[in-house]
Amino acid sequence: MFFPEYRARRLRRTEALRRMVRETVLRTDDLIYPMFSAFGQGIKKEIPSMPGIYQQSIEHIVAEAREVYDLGIPAVILFGIPEAKDAVGSDAYSDHGIIQKTIRAIKQAVPQLVVITDVCLCEYTDHGHCGIIKDGDVDNDATLELLAAEALSHAQAGADIVAPSDMMDGRVAAIRARLDANGFAHIPVMSYAVKYASAYYGPFRDAAESTPQFGDRRSYQMDPANRSEAFREAALDVQECADFLMVKPALAYLDILRDLKERFDLPLVAYNVSGEYSMIKAAAANGWVDHDRVMMETLTGMKRAGADLIITYHAKDAARLLGR
């Protein structure tokens, strides 16, 4: 095909033609909306670094869950801000924990909405790390027991999917075994399989109040420079019977999304994280970019790279545009 006989612009001439040959289509069904549930009543506190996103008490979470469902978004993922934190994150696996109560409330009010729960201890520990501390670092194997207990408590409360984000070795197998042994073999595990130690998480740590009180998470989250390690992490989770694989963050790791899509046949999730969200919001607020166009281009890029599903704080805004 050579110019002038071949002209690529022929298929770009009108909006109808562009739609007909569009290769990547972003759908509302592809979106998952994160929510932050806070202990107490009457709480709706906007997160300063994440405009439009709130810490909310359960009655407001339920109202927003109805809004999300009415927009056609199929699922939410829940994060909790407990009444109190301790060294072992007790609220994470309590039958009366903030997330367990939130799950029950949402499933009673909006039963058709898929409820995914983040399984980790960082939001519930007074030190802000993702597991039990021993000799100044997270004890991997001791943490597995608590993660499995947390996942089981979420399933018992009515969660549809559990999503371990801690990056402990062996946590998918531990959770799968605990769920299966207690009558929850039908509950899928959405593994944060490839989670990098990223600076893009800053605003989330404000939202979840989970900033480490000492050190950082680089002994258990992945080095942003590594690519081959992502294949090993994902392969381990596949062997341990994960049902979904996730890459987090998404925007700076589109190559990893494509790599995993080409190597594994499980549904692939991209987490469009807080820093990625906040950069667009800040640039748009300053008039530097067109918010809606940059948002949709960013999400479409993640889908084009291989994501089947996208966890994004933009979900409601995107769903409104997609519904027009």
Closest CA to 76 of 84, 67, 68, 85: 68
Active site residue 316: no
Backbone angles phi, psi at 104, to 5 degrees: -60, -40
3-state secondary structure the chain: CCCCCCCHHHHHCCHHHHHHCCCCCCCHHHEEEEEEEECCCCCEEEECCEEEEEEECHHHHHHHHHHHHHCCCCEEEEEEECCCCECCCHHHHCCCCHHHHHHHHHHHHCCCCEEEEEECCCCCECCCCCCCEECCEECHHHHHHHHHHHHHHHHHHCCCEEEECCCCCCHHHHHHHHHHHCCCCCCCEEEEEEEECCHHHHHHHHHHCCCCCCCCCCCCCECCCCCHHHHHHHHHHHHCCCCEEEEECCHHHHHHHHHHHHHCCCCEEEEECHHHHHHHHHHHHCCCCCHHHHHHHHHHHHHHHCCCEEEECCHHHHHHHHCC
Please give the Cα distance from 29 to 81 (Å, whole number): 28
Strands 114-119 and 75-81: parallel
Catalytic annotation, pick one of 85, 101, 248, 303: 248
Measure Cα distances from 31 to 18, 86, 228 in Å: 23, 33, 28
Active site residue 248: yes
Catalytic annotation, pick one of 195, 261, 281, 316: 195
* Residues that are catalytic: 195, 248
